[in-house]
Structure 1
Amino acid sequence: MSETPESIVPELIVEEVERPHLLVVATGMRLFREYILSSIAPQYRIHMFLHAEPSWEKDYIEGWTVLESTLEADALVEAAKKLHAEQPIDGVLCWDEARILQTAHVAEALGLPGGDVAMINRCRDKHLTRTALAEKGVPQPQSILVDTVDEALVTADKLGYPVILKPRALAASLGVVKVNSAEELRENWAFAHDTTVPEAPHYDVNVLVEEFADGYEISIDAAVFHGQVTPFCLARKEIGYPPYAEEVGHFVDAHDPLLVDEQLMQVLVDAHAAIAFTDGVTHTEIMMTADGPKVIEINARIGGDMIPYLGLQATGADPGLAAAAVACGRTPELVPDRTVAGGVRFFYVDENNTVLDGVEWDETDLPATIDKLVLLMAPGQTTSPPPEGTLWGRIAYATAVAPTLDECRAGLDAAEKALRWSGHVVTEPKEPAS
């Protein structure tokens, strides 16, 4: 039977939409950052700038450029312009604190979202953050920049003990310490003043003396598109090794009542407006006090310590795709598809200068809530607990995903018991493993 015109089905011509070309600056440790690349790769063509030949990254990237250093903004800009001329770049992304400012220079040079160096510097420089928030009246601890221990002592007397000593240039609570008296301030001044990392910027005046905000600390990861702030992960932080502020764990609960706390969300929005943050992803740390939320700091990058990963497992909202979208000037799609809880816990040795003789997991009879068991060190490495070890002193971490926070905690308790390590203390200190 011949086909009538009405019965003819026209041939469908489908034009494949090319995936955006995304430049990613550096990667970070595979054990902490691979999940981001694995999310982004199916929907974006990734070109990476690295300081050494890629290894595991090759599973996710389509091209790369090896540079002598990924810390030099001028070199990054030059390489990016060359790549852009050959293969136009749609967005630039970085989640490494030491390189976010340099990445902003690249975005600025190419006229891409996030290309506001001053905006990023208001996050990178903790003193500039405090100044911008104060000008707009955003609730935060009072903070004063000091140059010497004597200035710190005078400032602490004015603020009233206890106070927090905090490096101006660092992140992840490095160099942060609570002091309760002038004597403790003198004893801990060098810790706050001298703690650094190789990539950290240098400031002539580099210590903040801050009012102690009593309460519990949270973090909120958010995607910001054209000034609109969309939170996608709220975590409750667990702190250990007082008076230091080592982050020993985090929990994300899709049912957390803080997600619908209007005062908290308004403070988050007001903080971003105060620092004029318009496009990118942020990791904002907030202390929940009896007087309400107080902003501790705002980082112009996705959170670390597996926090966004926990958010992904707990809610289904993908942090990597959100970060890539806003980097390319696209509206982030953050649609939760589950409501569970996730947690991470980090593990340390007991004594300074411990040489690991053995470290392994005994996976016998672990609950089904265990998600990841990750070793960060191997036998023969030397490490210390905080404050000497800080986050580089961690020997392992575990994550758990469960219907409730209580089940998450129980799973991590079981993981802690399942970690088997042995070691011996050396009398001559060695450099901590990194």
Structure 2
Amino acid sequence: MARRALIMVEGGSNMLRYVQAARHLGLHPITLAADPIRYEYLPTENNEAIRVDTNSLDALIHECSRLSAAYDIAGITSATELTYATVGKLCRHFDLPGPNPTSIERCCDKFVQRQLLAEAGIPIPAYRLASDATEVERCAAEIGLPVVLKPAVGIGSIGVRLCRNAGELAEHTNYLLGGEHIWRSSPRILVEEFAQGPHYWAEIMGDEILLIGTSDFGPPPYFVYHQWSFPAPLSDAEHQRISDVSLSCLRALGLGWGPTNIEFRWTNRGPVVIEVNPRLGGAPGPEIVQAACGVDLFTEHIKLVIGDELNLCRSHPQTGAARFLVADRDGILDWIDGVSRAAAIPGVVEVKLNVEPKTPIIRKGDYRDWIGYIIAVSANRALTETILQRAVNLISWSITSIPARGEHEQICASPRTNAG
């Protein structure tokens, strides 16, 4: 009898968890990637990986057909939205459960997504599309400063910035169009009204809203997360309003199969949709969910992919939160200390570092600025916050700044400055 395999197309921040969940379900995970070497976890997990042009649907069909001679392909999926539409096409070709590729493609183009949401009457920020500096300036004048500039297609807040005045607008426009930003297609900039208010996110599987959390950001003009918390402190009426808007988004975009992550700002208009992502939220969102309510989103997504029955029942409802560790300067990370002591605090679920000592730190103003994160859970929000802060206070690090003239300045930053 052929071994059941799960095909994973490319990787992402969540890929390791998908691989581990697949193994737990008795599946043999196989990664198809244009450059498998870039995924450091593959050798350590002894995961089978095959080099293939993942931009070519024909190449992927050929490779999956070849693999089907040796394996029973139970399902095909991906941890990143960049290849998720292609995964949908592969699933249709091989008659396997999967997302609607047209819906995914429309959703991943933020301008098209905005159009579809607006047509459905869903509250969104005012927006315009620009392709050059003159159009950016005109669009910003029509909307009124401050505005948010972002690539029409992109992930992880890469290239996203709040522009509060004409100088910041010109500076970020030059950055996006001047060759520093890497475009996956022709340059198209979304110019948006800055929707001001508390930030919330909804995690959805199929058409079931699993939870609504809240987020805090670091200082502007960038949108680098400082903390995620679950559940969000909402009244029943506020929770219902976000839930209703979430389900309207699914209908407007033709989603409703598999995971969806939706971001909101609560403004004087109520919940305004900032972005709809046709995937699980990035790490450590799913990890908070599992720690706080016992639902393993990676396992449940794979069960959906292979046609098994889902189990989204919460086994132990608690409150959970993650604090991000973010460097306050560029340089070389000399050392980081206190991780084991922080991890030993009761209620701390995980302390994860994204970088090792002697790693260059070059801040980008997006998720790549995270040195790591801490997750804590408890019976209530106040206690979770206390546990989290205790853990943060135990962690410190040193960054050697490298000034332009060659002088090296050793700076030992306090944990409160870096992370809290």
Shorter-chain TM-score category? 0.7 to 0.9
Aligned counterpart, 1:266: 244
Partners in 2 of 1:114 and 1:128 — Cα distance?
A: 22
1:12-161 equivalences in 2 (<5 Å) = 21-29=5-13, 33-51=15-33, 52=36, 64-161=48-145
Answer whether contact 2:85 2:100 (CA < 8 A) is retained: no
**Partner of 1:395: helix, strand, or coil?**
strand
Distance 1:90 1:254, change over 3 A: farther
1:302-341 equivalences in 2 (<5 Å) = 302-341=280-319
Most deviating of 186-195 and 164-173: 186-195
Per-residue deviation, residues 408-427 of structure 1 (Å, max 9, x unmatched): 22222222222221121123
Most deviating of 104-113 and 207-216: 104-113
1:368 deviates by 1.0
Aligned counterpart, 1:201: 184
Amino acid at match of 1:76: L
Amino acid at match of 1:421: W
**Partner of 1:277: helix, strand, or coil?**
coil
Partners in 1 of 2:130 and 2:387 — Cα distance?
A: 44
Amino acid at match of 2:28: I
Answer whether contact 1:221 1:282 (CA < 8 A) is retained: yes
Partners in 1 of 2:4 and 2:237 — Cα distance?
A: 32
TM-score by length of 1: 0.83
Answer whether contact 2:117 2:253 (CA < 8 A) is retained: yes
**Partner of 2:320: helix, strand, or coil?**
strand
Answer whether contact 2:148 2:192 (CA < 8 A) is retained: yes
1:350-365 equivalences in 2 (<5 Å) = 350-352=328-330, 354-361=331-338, 363-364=340-341
**Partner of 2:174: helix, strand, or coil?**
helix
Partners in 2 of 1:191 and 1:106 — Cα distance?
A: 36
1:136 deviates by 1.5
1:260 deviates by 7.5
Distance 1:129 1:194, change over 3 A: farther
Aligned counterpart, 1:377: 355
- Aligned: 1:181 with 2:159: no
- Aligned: 1:218 with 2:218: no
Partners in 2 of 1:174 and 1:165 — Cα distance?
A: 11
Aligned partner (choices 393, 396, 406) of residue 417 of structure 1: 393
Distance 1:254 1:266, change over 3 A: closer
Distance 1:407 1:138, change over 3 A: same
Answer whether contact 1:254 1:340 (CA < 8 A) is retained: no
Answer whether contact 1:41 1:60 (CA < 8 A) is retained: no
Partners in 2 of 1:70 and 1:235 — Cα distance?
A: 33
Amino acid at match of 1:28: G
Partners in 2 of 1:197 and 1:85 — Cα distance?
A: 42
Partners in 2 of 1:375 and 1:291 — Cα distance?
A: 39
Partners in 2 of 1:268 and 1:87 — Cα distance?
A: 38
**Partner of 1:178: helix, strand, or coil?**
strand
Partners in 2 of 1:197 and 1:24 — Cα distance?
A: 28
Answer whether contact 2:131 2:187 (CA < 8 A) is retained: yes
Answer whether contact 2:85 2:99 (CA < 8 A) is retained: no
Aligned partner (choices 371, 375, 379) of residue 395 of structure 1: 371
- Aligned: 1:405 with 2:381: yes
Partners in 2 of 1:195 and 1:407 — Cα distance?
A: 47
Answer whether contact 1:214 1:289 (CA < 8 A) is retained: yes
Answer whether contact 1:254 1:315 (CA < 8 A) is retained: no
- Aligned: 1:296 with 2:291: no
**Partner of 2:329: helix, strand, or coil?**
coil
Partners in 2 of 1:171 and 1:344 — Cα distance?
A: 20
**Partner of 1:128: helix, strand, or coil?**
helix
Per-residue deviation, residues 330-382 of structure 1 (Å, max 9, x unmatched): 44320001111111122122222x11221222544763122212222222211
TM-score by length of 2: 0.85
Distance 1:115 1:85, change over 3 A: farther
Answer whether contact 1:356 1:381 (CA < 8 A) is retained: yes
**Partner of 2:83: helix, strand, or coil?**
helix
Aligned counterpart, 2:408: none
**Partner of 1:91: helix, strand, or coil?**
strand
Q: 5+ residue gaps in structure 2? A: 406-420
Most deviating of 305-314 and 279-288: 279-288
Most deviating of 270-279 and 185-194: 185-194
Answer whether contact 2:202 2:263 (CA < 8 A) is retained: yes
Distance 1:206 1:115, change over 3 A: same
Distance 1:50 1:255, change over 3 A: same
Aligned partner (choices 346, 358, 362) of residue 324 of structure 2: 346
1:189 deviates by 1.5
Q: 5+ residue gaps in structure 1? A: 1-17, 430-434
Answer whether contact 1:310 1:343 (CA < 8 A) is retained: yes
Answer whether contact 1:233 1:308 (CA < 8 A) is retained: no
Per-residue deviation, residues 254-279 of structure 1 (Å, max 9, x unmatched): 88646972221111111111111142
Distance 1:58 1:223, change over 3 A: farther
Answer whether contact 1:109 1:115 (CA < 8 A) is retained: no
Amino acid at match of 2:76: V
Answer whether contact 2:22 2:29 (CA < 8 A) is retained: no
Per-residue deviation, residues 81-108 of structure 1 (Å, max 9, x unmatched): 2223543423222112332233223223
Amino acid at match of 1:127: F
Distance 1:93 1:251, change over 3 A: same
Instruction: Choose 1 or 2 for highest CA Rg.
Output: 1
1:168 deviates by 1.1
Answer whether contact 2:4 2:72 (CA < 8 A) is retained: no
